[in-house]
Amino acid sequence: MGSLRSELLSLIASTARDFISEPSSSLDANINRTLAAIGELFDVDRAYVFEYRAAQGVVCNTHEWCAPGVEPQIEHLQGLPVELVPWWMDEMRAGRAINLSSLDDLPPEGESTRELLENQGIHSLLVLPLVRRGQLDGFAGFDHVRGSRCWSEEEVAVLRIVVSSFAQGFERRQIDQRLEQMAFEDPLTGLPNRALLGRRLEKALAKARLSGRLLAVGYLDLDAFKQVNDRYGHAVGDELLAVMATRLRQSMHPGETVARLGGDEFVVVLPEMESQQRLLERAEALLGVVAEPCTMSDGYCVAMGTSLGLRLVPPDDADPDLLLRQADQAMYAAKRAGGSRIHIFDASFEQREHLRQARILAIRSAIGKGELRLFVQPMVNLATGRVFAVEALVRWATADQGLLLPGEWLPLIEHDPAILELGDWVMEQALHWGSRWLDAGLCEAISVNVSARELLDPAFSTRLCTRLRSYPQLPTGALRLEVLESAAMHDLDQVKATMRACREAGVSFALDDFGTGYSSLAYLRQLPVSLLKIDRSFVQQMLKEPGDASIVRGVIDMAHALGLRCVAEGVQTEVHQELLQGMGCEFAQGFGIARPMPAQQFPAWVKRYSGGGGAPIRSAP
């Protein structure tokens, strides 16, 4: 007995050492080695481990050791329903050992197990539960088929210690698998993440260069996904991303990969393309997969488009990071072309992108060098003709091209951090000049356009409040920020938060170019605006197009119903002014009143056209 005790203690020590020190990838080998050691030490015929898969309601024989001449049973014991062995499973869940020196020791409630055991030729057995943190993971068993054995309490206790290492090993492997999953898998969709994509892309590149066949890297971005989040909520947005991920995964051919990089951006790796035409057919199929309407769990039906940028290999030896960047650039080109389409990256596109970046650098430099000029355009009260407000505008005074209008350069920085620098410059200039004009009674307010990027910048309201403290004499509501409908739709929650913070600092808001964007009453009611600016395209045509006149009247009536006042943009003639005033429009702006002018010229303009006494403005030269 002393020799057996020594061997048992040695078995416990070696098992604990192996399961603690060796990686989880060695778990199966360690379990098989331990089963063999137990089998030989106790002269059993078969030693095994079963895994309990609670979700499926089955147990599966995962490991088995058999003494020489004993027939293995592992192939016959896969997916065994637990309802076939209810007593057995109750004992295991309760943490009790099953120790049978003979099948005649089976209790009445365990008789349903007899046939299964007899079919395996079992005469006696010991079965021990594998329990981890109170949950049953499975069980380990030791059978005699050529004789029988009665296991002592001490032997059972020792074997409990040994097989408990199995459960610890299972837990460690699950932790390692979860860590690997976290490292290489997107948690929302289960798709490969950027790290795993990089590995697969490297392998695909190496294979493509050996085979000489086309490899395509595709960058997909869902069109208008933010609108889904804003309209239905982030839970629906996440569900939509998961649905799209499943669709894309199921549409992948052998050897292809789809990964999620974050947000609504996905990447596909398409190897072994026979031709560019075949690639385009494959890409169109992916667009079709995304475009199918989705019915969400709460009943919403959502249809999405996607923009897809493709980068082909060969002709060059670009690395994975460069391929992804260039596919991303091609995707943005597809979006700029209207979205829901495919764009293939090429060298000329890259050259244009370089020129665009150089232009952006020149614009940023112009801000620092003082090459920008503040212009203003008045808005007048149609009833009194007095100046109601001025809109701050910007021009770029270049050395070689003269004075450039915003349309020639502003779109280049719309999505660039430079737009924030420009916005800060315009704001400071507008407050500097506007505070003087307000003190002099030349106008009642000054309007400044703000970009989508500024509205989405959580620090924007803080910067503005800091700047306003330098102008304590500015009346509440005298600074008005003009926002576009489309800018407000990017992230409605953040935009509303920014607007609320600004309003608390005494800033008012106007919705600009109303009628050209979403024109959604639901969105309009959510935004804290006090003024609605009717887009010039309707105002300019209202004398020729009855439909446009009806639209203008409808917008004015709607604004009044919501407690808002209106500014008509694009007013060109005295007839426009009279017609708008008859419709109830309060204010007007346009070339028929004044063209944009340098800020320094505004006081003289007010004096000249108001006659110093606020006479109604009927026309402008």
Across 380-407, average pLDDT: 93
* Residues 539 and 401 grouped into a single domain: yes
Residue 219: both structure tokens together? 């960058």
What is the model's pTM?
0.52
* Residues 34 and 170 grouped into a single domain: yes
Question: Is residue 501 included in any domain, yes or no?
Answer: yes
The confidence score (pLDDT) of residue 252 equals 95
The confidence score (pLDDT) of residue 168 equals 78
> Total domain count for the chain?
3
Query: Tokens 């005649």 identify what position?
Result: 104
Average pLDDT, the chain: 88
- Of the candidates 493, 486, 566, the residue with the CA atom closest to the CA atom of residue 529: 566
- SS3 of residue 577 by DSSP: helix
Across 526-549, average pLDDT: 89
* Residues 321 and 446 grouped into a single domain: no
Residue 307: both structure tokens together? 């923009």
Which of 256-270, 294-308, 470-484, 574-588 comes out lowest in average pLDDT? 294-308
Question: Is residue 481 included in any domain, yes or no?
Answer: yes
H or E element that contains 293: none
Across 481-497, average pLDDT: 79
| Domain closes at, from 132, 161, 182 | 182
- SS3 of residue 344 by DSSP: strand
* Residues 120 and 226 grouped into a single domain: no
8 Å CB contact between 218 and 283: yes
| Domain closes at, from 345, 367, 394 | 345
Q: Is the peptide bond before 314 cis (omega within 30 degrees of 0)?
A: yes
| Domain closes at, from 182, 215, 241 | 182
The confidence score (pLDDT) of residue 9 equals 62
* Residues 284 and 425 grouped into a single domain: no
Whether residue 595 has pLDDT greater than 90: yes
Whether residue 557 has pLDDT greater than 70: yes
The CATH code of the domain that includes 198 is 3.30.70.270
8 Å CB contact between 240 and 264: no
Residue of 184 and 535 predicted with greater confidence: 535
Q: CA–CA separation, 509 vs 227, rounded Å?
A: 22
Whether residue 179 has pLDDT greater than 80: no
* Residues 89 and 42 grouped into a single domain: yes
The DSSP-derived string for 157-208 is: HHHHHHHHHHHHHHHHHHHHHHHHHHHHB-TTT--B-HHHHHHHHHHHHHHH
* Residues 234 and 292 grouped into a single domain: yes
* Residues 397 and 273 grouped into a single domain: no
Residue 446: both structure tokens together? 């000054």
Question: Is residue 439 included in any domain, yes or no?
Answer: yes
Residue 198: both structure tokens together? 């990089």
Question: Is residue 620 included in any domain, yes or no?
Answer: no
H or E element that contains 380: strand 372-381
Bridging pattern class, strands 294-295 and 301-302: antiparallel
Q: How confident is the model at residue 108 (pLDDT cuts 50, 70, 90)?
A: very high
Question: Is residue 350 included in any domain, yes or no?
Answer: no
Residue 86: both structure tokens together? 């209810």
Which of 51-65, 175-189, 249-263, 406-420 comes out lowest in average pLDDT? 175-189
Beta-ladder partners of 224: none
The confidence score (pLDDT) of residue 126 equals 96
* Residues 328 and 448 grouped into a single domain: no
* Residues 142 and 260 grouped into a single domain: no
- SS3 of residue 291 by DSSP: helix
Q: CA–CA separation, 510 vs 531, rounded Å?
A: 4
* Residues 83 and 110 grouped into a single domain: yes
Question: Is residue 274 included in any domain, yes or no?
Answer: yes
Question: Is residue 609 included in any domain, yes or no?
Answer: no
CA distances from 347 to 319, 323, 330, 343, 441 (A): 16, 12, 11, 13, 57
The CATH code of the domain that includes 434 is 3.20.20.450
Bridging pattern class, strands 124-132 and 294-295: unpaired
Q: Which domain holds residue 135?
A: 2-182
Across 212-221, average pLDDT: 92
pLDDT digits (tens, 9 = 90+) for 277-304: 999 999 999 999 999 998 888 888 888 8
The DSSP-derived string for 75-140 is: GG-SSEEGGGSHHHHHHHHTT--EEESSGGG--GGGGGGHHHHHHTT-SEEEEEEEEETTEEEEEE
Q: How confident is the model at residue 382 (pLDDT cuts 50, 70, 90)?
A: very high
The confidence score (pLDDT) of residue 85 equals 92
Question: Is residue 256 included in any domain, yes or no?
Answer: yes
What interhelical angle do 602-610 and 418-439 show, nearest 10? 40
Residue 107: both structure tokens together? 């209790």
The CATH code of the domain that includes 85 is 3.30.450.40
* Residues 15 and 119 grouped into a single domain: yes
> Residue 13: left if φ>0, alpha if ψ -120 to 50, beta else—which one?
alpha
Whether residue 118 has pLDDT greater than 70: yes
Q: CA–CA separation, 315 vs 73, rounded Å?
A: 56
Whether residue 125 has pLDDT greater than 70: yes
